[in-house]
Amino acid sequence: MDYGFKPRNCGSAVMGRILLIFILVGFSASSFASSCCGQSPSSFTVLSLEQSFVLTSAYTYADSVGRVYDNGDFRVWNGDKHRDVKSLSLNLSGSFLSRHQWFAAMSFLEGEYSDSSISQSSKNLSDTLLGYTFEALPEYRFSYWKPVVYLSALINVPTGKSTYETLDLGEGAGVTGHNQWGLGVGMTLKKVYFPLSLTLQMKSLRIFPETFGSVRVSGFYDNSIALLGNYSLGIQDLSINGGVTTSQTTEKEISTTAGSSGKIEKTAVLFGIQKVFTDDWSGGLNYSDETLLGDSKNTLLNRSYTLSFSRTYF
C-alpha cells in the first residue's frame, strides 16, 4: 500500500513510519483537547499501514474563559468566576483482517468551580465512545488527489454525567458527557504529501431520548468536523501540527421547560508539536483555543493544554 512516499531503503522506511506516528499522535491530541466539556470527542483514532495496536494516554487542563449566549453575546469572566476541568484520557485502537479496525475512548475528569461565595469540585467518568472502522478506499498506488477513505460506525455509551442530572457545581463543571445512548457514523480522509499530511474527519451521533429523574430529554444530534495538518520537520524526529475542529449539538426538547435547549456551536483551533522517541513510543504537547474562530452559541469557551503519549505495536 502506497501512502504518498516510496521507501527505497531502511532510512526512508523509518521516516515513513515516523510520519504515520506523527499523524496518529497529532489527531489523538485533537480528540482529547476537545472532549473535556460534556460532549463526545470531536475526532477519533484511525490507524494507518502496519499499526496493529495503539495505546494513547493524555492529560488535559482546560480553563474556561467565559460563556457565549444563544444570541452570540460573549461574557468574559474577569475574576468573578473560575471554572477548570482536568482530564486523564485513554484511547485504545487496533486493527484486524487487513482493512478493519476498532477503537475505544474514555476519560476521567475532575471539574472545579468557584466564585465570590463558593468553591466546589467533582470527579466523574466521561461518556465512552466505541467504534468500528473499515478502510473503504485504499491507496494501492500514489495519487496526487485521491485520499485514503475510512468509514466508521460509532456507539456513545452513557458512562458520563449529564447537565440534566442533579449537579452541585456551577457552570457545568461537573458535566462529563451526555449520559445518553447514541449511534452514529464517521468518515475520515487522509492524504500524505511527505513531509506533509492532511486529515479530514466528520462525525454525526444520534443521541437517543433519556429521562433523568423528573426531566425528560429528547433525542438530538452531536455533529463535528475536524481538519488537521501535520508537518515533519526532519530534525530530531519532531513535527508540528495545526488544526480546526467545529462541533454542533442540535436543539433538544426538555420536559421541564417551555421550549428547547437551544443549539450549541463552537470552534476550536489547535496547535502542537510532536516527538518520536523510538519506533514504539511518541509524545505530543498541544494547545487548543475556542475563542479564536467561529460564531459560537450557547456554550462555554475554553483554552486547553494537552500532554499525550502513545505506545504503538506493529
pLDDT tens per residue across span 12-60: 444 444 445 545 555 555 554 444 445 555 678 999 867 899 999 999 9
Banded model confidence at residue 198, pLDDT cuts 50, 70, 90: very high
Report the pLDDT value the prediction gives residue 42, as an integer from 0 to 100.
Answer: 64
Report the pLDDT value the prediction gives residue 11, as an integer from 0 to 100.
Answer: 43
Q: For 10-313, which CATH superfamily applies?
A: monomeric porin ompg (2.40.160.40)
216-232: average pLDDT: 95
Banded model confidence at residue 228, pLDDT cuts 50, 70, 90: very high
Mean pLDDT of the chain: 86
> Any idea which residue has 473560575 for its cell?
82
**Can you say whether residue 42 is alpha, beta or left, with left for phi > 0 and alpha for psi between -120 and 50 degrees?**
alpha
pLDDT tens per residue across span 131-143: 999 999 998 888 8
Taking alpha carbons only, the member of 289, 222, 263 closest to residue 40 is 222
Q: What is the dihedral of CA 288, 190, 99, 49, to 10 degrees?
A: -90
Report the pLDDT value the prediction gives residue 63, as an integer from 0 to 100.
Answer: 95
| Euclidean distance between CA atoms 195 and 145, whole angstroms | 16
Report the pLDDT value the prediction gives residue 300, as an integer from 0 to 100.
Answer: 93
Domain boundaries, the chain: 10-313
For residue 8, pLDDT over 70 is answered with: no
Higher pLDDT, 3 or 66: 66
Banded model confidence at residue 235, pLDDT cuts 50, 70, 90: very high
Percent of the chain with pLDDT over 70: 84
Percent of the chain with pLDDT over 90: 64
For residue 268, pLDDT over 60 is answered with: yes
Banded model confidence at residue 174, pLDDT cuts 50, 70, 90: confident
| Lowest mean pLDDT, pick from 89-103, 210-224, 247-261 | 247-261
pLDDT tens per residue across span 65-110: 999 998 888 999 987 789 999 999 999 999 998 899 999 999 999 9
For residue 281, pLDDT over 50 is answered with: yes
